[in-house]
Amino acid sequence: MDLETLREKALSCQGCPLRRHARQVVFGEGNPRADLMLVGEGPGAQEDEAGRPFVGPAGQLLDRILAAAGLQRAELYITNIVKCRPPGNRQPLPAEVQACRPILEAQIKLIQPRIIVCLGAVAMRALIAPGASITRLRGQWITRDGIRYLLTFHPAALLRDASKKRPVWEDFKSLRQVYRSEQVEQLSMEFPDKYLGGVNRGSAGLTRLGPR
C-alpha cells in the first residue's frame, strides 16, 4: 500500500466514535519521504474545518518555531495521534488512541522517518512512554526501532504558558542539529566518497555532536 491509498482508506474510517463528531478525517500532510515527522495530539476546530493538521493558532506558532530553527514545513511530515477531532478539544481517550494507532503505524512504516518529534504528552505516551510526564521527559531523545524520538511540549501548551517557550526552543535547536547531522550522514552513505571529499569525512564529526 502507498501513502495515498492509506489516506483514502483513512478518510472513510469509522473506527471509533470520534468520527461521528468530526467534520472530516485529518490524515496528515507533508513530504511522503520525510526524514522528520512531527506527531501531535489530534485536530482542533480549524484543522477539522480545513482537513489539514496544525493550521490553527498552535500550528501557526509551530510554523514560526520551525522557521526560526531553519526547518521548512514542506520538507517534513506532520500528523496527529488521532485523525478526528475530539469534541470540545478534549484529549483523546485511550480507546480512541488505540483505534487510530494502525493508521499512524502505517504512516510511519510507509514514510520511514529517521526522527519523530512527539508534540505533547498524548503523542509521547502513545509512542514512547505510557503514563509518563512530558514535563519530566521533555527534551529527551529516545531511540526505538531505529527511529530517534524527541519529546517536547505541544505548541498549544506554549500558548497557555509562555514559560514553556524557552525549553521548546532549546528542543528545536537540538532537533535542528540532529536532523542536519542525519542528512549529512545519509548523503555520505548515498554518494561515493570521491564526490564528497571533506564533507563525507566531516559527517562523522557532525553526527557525534547530536544528543543520543
Please state the closest distance from residue 104 (CB atom) to ligand SF4, in A.
9
Residues whose CB falls within 8 Å of the CB of residue 119, separated by 6 or more in sequence, listed in order:
38, 39, 40, 41, 62, 152, 153, 154, 155
The per-residue DSSP string of 62-110 comes to HHHHHHHTT--GGGSEEEESSSSPPGGGPPPPHHHHHHHHHHHHHHHHH
Q: Pick from 37, 55, 99, 156: which binds ligand SF4 (CB under 6 A)?
A: 99
**Identity of the residue, 62 or 99, whose beta carbon is nearer to ligand SF4 in the bound complex:** 99
Cα gap 97→68, rounded to integer Å: 31
Per the CB < 8 A criterion, the answer to whether 76 and 116 are in contact is no
Please report, as residue ranges, which positions from 9 to 38 form the binding site for ligand SF4 (by CB under 6 A): 10, 13-16, 18-19, 25
Which segments of the chain are extended strands (E)?
29-30, 36-40, 77-80, 115-119, 141-144, 147-152
Please state the closest distance from residue 20 (CB atom) to ligand SF4, in A.
8
Please state the closest distance from residue 120 (CB atom) to ligand SF4, in A.
17
Quote the DSSP letter at residue 37.
E
Q: Pick from 100, 119, 121, 150: which binds ligand SF4 (CB under 6 A)?
A: 100
**Identity of the residue, 42 or 56, whose beta carbon is nearer to ligand SF4 in the bound complex:** 42
Please state the closest distance from residue 81 (CB atom) to ligand SF4, in A.
9
Q: Pick from 66, 82, 108, 124: which binds ligand SF4 (CB under 6 A)?
A: 82
Per-residue cell: 63: 510554523
Per-residue cell: 88: 470540545
Q: Is 104 in the site for ligand SF4 (CB under 6 A)?
A: no
Give me Rg for the CA atoms of the chain: 17
Please state the closest distance from residue 98 (CB atom) to ligand SF4, in A.
9
Binding part of the chain for ligand SF4, among 59-67, 69-77, 96-104, 161-169 by CB under 6 A, reads: 96-104
How many residues belong to the site for ligand SF4 (CB under 6 A)?
A: 15
Q: Is 116 in the site for ligand SF4 (CB under 6 A)?
A: no
Interaction site with ligand SF4 (CB under 6 A): 10, 13-16, 18-19, 25, 82-84, 96, 99-100, 103
